[in-house]
A and B are shown apart, each in its own frame.
Chain A
Amino acid sequence: MDFISSLAIWQWLIVLAVPPAVVALYFLKLRRQPLEVPSTYLWKKSIEDLHVNSLWQRIRQNLLLYLQLLVLGLIILALFRPGWRSQNLKNKRHIFLLDHSASMNASDVAPSRLLEAKRQALAMIDAMGSGDSGMVVSFSDIARVEQGFTENKRDLHRAVANIKASNRPTALDEALRTVVGMSKSGREPGNLAGRVGSSADEDQKPEAPPTTLYILSDGKFPPVQGLSLRTLEPKFIPIGHSNAINLSIVAFGVRRNEQHEGRWQAFGSVQNFGEEAVTTHVELSHNGNKIDASQVTVQPGDTAGVAFDLTEGESGILEMQITHDDVLHEDNRAWVAVNSSRKPKVLLVTDGNEALEMALATSRARELAETTTAKPEVLNTKEHQQAASSGSYDLIIFDRCRPIRSPRANTVYIGALPPSPLDEATEITANAKSLNDSEKSARGADTPIPERWWSFGPRLENPQVIDLNRSHPLMQWLDMGDVELIEGRLVLVPPGGTTLLESTQGPILAIAPRAGFEDVVMGFEINGVNQDGNRSVNTNWPIRSSFPSFIFAALSYLGGNNGAAAGASVKPGQPLMLKSELPVDQLEVHTPQGARLTAHRGKAGSFQFSSTEALGPYEIYEGSKVIERFTVNLFDPLESSIRPAKDGSIQIGIETVQGTVGYEPVRRETWKWLLLAGLVVLLLEWYIYHRRVYV
Chain B
Amino acid sequence: MATAETSLLSPKLLAQLEKLELVSRKIFRGRMKGERRSKRKGQSVEFADFRSYVPGDDLRFIDWNTYARLDRLFLKLFLEEEDLHFYALIDASSSMGFGTPTKLEYARQLAGALSFIGLIRGDRVRIETLGQSPRTPGPVLRGRRSMWRMMEYLSGLQPGESISLAQGAKNFFARNSGKGILLLISDLMDKTGYETALRYLVSQQMDVYIVQVLSTEEIDPDIQGDLKLIDCEDADIAEITASAPLIARYKRTLNAFIDDARIFCTRRGMNYLLARNDVPVEQLVSGYLRQRGMVK
Contact = CB atoms under 8 A, between A and B. Distances in A.
Nearest to B215: A38
A40 B237 contact: yes
Contacts of B223: 35
Given A43-B240, A46-B250, A37 B229 contact: yes
A36 B232 contact: yes
A39 B249 contact: no
A34 B254 CA distance: 22
A36 B233 CA distance: 10
Given A32-B239, A50-B249, A694-B245, A40 B227 contact: no
B243 A693 contact: yes
Nearest to A29: B226
A43 B231 CA distance: 10
Contacts of B95: 38-39
Interface in B250-290: 250, 252-254, 257
Contact of A42 (B227, B232, B241, B257): B257
A17 interface: no
B239 A41 contact: no
B228 interface: yes
Given A41-B191, A47-B238, A692-B241, A35 B230 contact: yes
Interface string B200-235: 000000000000000100100001011111111100
B236 interface: yes
Contacts of B64: none
B128 interface: no
A107 B83 CA distance: 117
Interface string A32-66: 11111111111111110110000000000100000
A42 B191 CA distance: 9
Interface string A4-45: 000000000000000000000000001011111111111111
Contacts of B229: 35-37, 40, 43
A33 B226 contact: yes
A30 B226 contact: yes
B250 A38 contact: no
B98 interface: yes
Interface in A145-204: none
Interface residues of B, number: 36
Contacts of A49: 249, 253
B187 A32 contact: no
A582 interface: no
A576 B233 CA distance: 109
A37 B231 contact: yes
Contacts of A694: 243, 245
A38 B103 CA distance: 10
A349 B220 CA distance: 129
A38 B230 contact: no
Given A46-B246, A47-B238, A39 B231 contact: yes
Contact of B253 (A34, A45, A695): A45
B250 A32 contact: no
A47 B239 CA distance: 9
B190 to A, nearest CB: 8
A45 to B, nearest CB: 5
Nearest to A692: B241
Interface string A100-138: 000000000000000000000000000000000000000
A56 to B, nearest CB: 15
A35 B227 contact: yes
B73 interface: no
A33 B103 CA distance: 25
Contacts of A32: 225-228, 239
Contacts of B243: 693-695
Nearest to A37: B229
Contacts of A61: 239
A-B pairs with lowest CB-CB distance, top 5: A38-B95, A39-B189, A32-B228, A40-B238, A40-B231
Interface of A: 30, 32-47, 49-50, 61, 692-695
Given A40-B237, A61-B239, 19 more contacts: A37-B229, A37-B230, A37-B231, A38-B98, A38-B218, A39-B189, A39-B191, A39-B232, A41-B231, A42-B253, A42-B254, A42-B257, A44-B238, A46-B253, A47-B238, A47-B240, A49-B253, A50-B246, A694-B245
27 contacts: A32-B227, A34-B230, A35-B223, A35-B228, A35-B229, A35-B230, A37-B98, A37-B231, A37-B232, A38-B94, A38-B187, A38-B218, A38-B231, A39-B191, A40-B229, A40-B231, A41-B191, A42-B250, A43-B229, A43-B238, A43-B240, A44-B236, A45-B257, A46-B252, A49-B249, A61-B239, A695-B243
